[in-house]
Structure 1
Amino acid sequence: MAVKIRLARRGRKKLAMFDVVVSDARAPRDGKFVEKLGTYNPNTNPATIVLNEKQSIQWVMNGAQPTDTVRAILSLKGILYAKHLQVGVIKGALTQEQADAKFEAWKVEKAKQIEANATKIAQSKAKSKASRLEAETKVSNARAESILAKNKVADEALVASVVEAINATDEEEVEVDEAPVAEAAVEEAPVVEAAVEEAPVAEAAVEEAPAAEEAPAAEAAAEEAPAAEEAAEEAPAAE
């Protein structure tokens, strides 16, 4: 039976996680497996890998063939390097203690590299975030200045319209106040004309008044004339 070390998918859509399993090469990808060696999560940066080193080294030494992705994972975790050291121990090139010491030193160095890489990624993220924040701040300030300018123009237009309305209202009030004065002047004009027209009538009345007074005097004189004549006639008779 051909045995492979492969990935078995699990997790939800677009957030998949994988189990590192030992299974029959003829089994489905997510089917039955012989043993689970660890997990692989590519959703983090860097990817999170958890492996049982002892069992992984044993299966690799027994001839289990990893897939390309699993081979990269095993190389990253030092499993293939540990296999190389174990082959050296089997051939007598070095002792088990030397192999274990080399493997531990390699793991320490690899941990430092991974930590430095994680720090670099974190700094890159922080720098990218700061640059995005600065760009957003500039855009926000520009938008605020634009809105402030628009509001200033609108306020100036509103003030101008209010001033025009006030001026127009004052002009209308002045016209309304002057209108009665003009009407009163128009109404007084006929009165003056009537007074001018009535003045000759008064003068005529004054002129007619002496005539009326002279008329009774003339009548009295006419009545007194016969009386005088009678008195004159009576005077010879008395003689």
Structure 2
Amino acid sequence: MSVKIRLQRHGSKGKPFFHIVVADSRSRRDGKFIEKLGTYNPITNPATIDLNVDSAVKWLNNGAQPTDTARAILSYKGALYKKHLQGGVAKGAFDEAEAEKRFASWLESKDSKVEGKKENLATAKSDAKKAAFDAETKVNEARISAAAQAKADAQAAEDAANAPVAKETAAETTEEGTEETQA
């Protein structure tokens, strides 16, 4: 029996969510499996991966072959590195404590990289939001000033149209006033 570490698809259309499982290679993709090792959500940025590293290493040592995507996930979470370190312990290159120390330092550096990426994404998102807000404010100010200018132009045109009428009315009243005084 050939055992594979592979992904089992769940989730709705366009919103995938995967379980990382150990399964017989002859079983269907979403069929029965031997053990569930974790989950993988590619929708989030960065992708959310929850993996039982010790169990994955146990299956790798027992001969389970990961698929390409599962291999990338196992590498990302450090399961392949931990297996590599256990091989060094078995050969006598270093002891178990040194292997654990190396793995812990690797995990720490990996976590700092992931946190850095999250912070950069959050900063970029807030910067984009601020730039969009500034652009919208600029457009609104231009729209308000154009409306004020149009209102001022309309008022000036109305005043210009009313001014000759007012002069004619004033002239008519003065003419009528002079006729009345003469009478």
With normalisation by structure 1, the TM-score equals 0.65
* 1:86-108, Cα deviation, whole Å (9 max, x unpaired): 11122222222221121112111
Name the amino acid aligned to 2:27. A
Q: How does 1:155-170 map to 2 (within 5 A)?
A: 155-161=155-161, 170=169
User: Structure 1 stretches of 5 or more lacking a match?
Assistant: 178-239
User: 1:152 and 2:128 equivalent?
Assistant: no
Q: Max radius of gyration: which structure?
A: 1
Distance in 2, Cα, partners of 1:159 & 1:29: 81
**Percent identity over paired residues:** 47
Distance 2:71 2:164 in 1: 84
Q: Residue 98 in 1 paired to residue 98 in 2? A: yes
1:46 paired to 2:56: no
Q: Work out whether 1:109 is the aligned partner of 2:109.
A: yes
Deviation at 1:166, TM superposition (A): 6.2
Q: 1:14 is matched with which residue?
A: 14
The aligned runs of 1:221-232 (5 Å cut-off) are none
**Equivalences for residues 41-80 of structure 1 within 5 A:** 41-80=41-80
Q: Secondary structure at the match of 2:144?
A: helix
1:50 alignment partner, SS class:
strand
Question: What is the count of residue pairs matched by the alignment?
Answer: 180
| Cα RMSD after superposing both structures | 2.9
Distance, in Å, in 2 between the alignment partners of 1:9 and 1:74 is 17
Query: Counterpart of 2:4 in 1: which secondary structure?
Result: strand
Amino acid at match of 1:101: K
Task: Name stretches of at least 5 consecutive residues in structure 2 with no aligned partner.
Answer: 177-183
- TM-score scaled to structure 2, two decimals? 0.82
CA distance in 2, matches of 1:66, 1:73: 10
Change (3 A) 1:158 1:5: farther
1:17 aligned counterpart, secondary structure: strand
Q: C-alpha displacement at 1:30, in angstroms? A: 1.9
**Greater fraction of residues in helix:** 1
Deviation at 1:138, TM superposition (A): 1.8
Alignment CA distance shift 1:162-1:57 (3 Å):
farther
The CA deviation at 1:77 is 0.7
- Taking structure 1 as reference, are residues 146 and 37 closer, same or farther at Cα in structure 2, changes over 3 Å only? same
State the distance in 1 between where 2:3 and 2:164 align. Answer: 93
Residue in 1 that maps onto 2:179: none
Cα shift at 1:61: 1.4
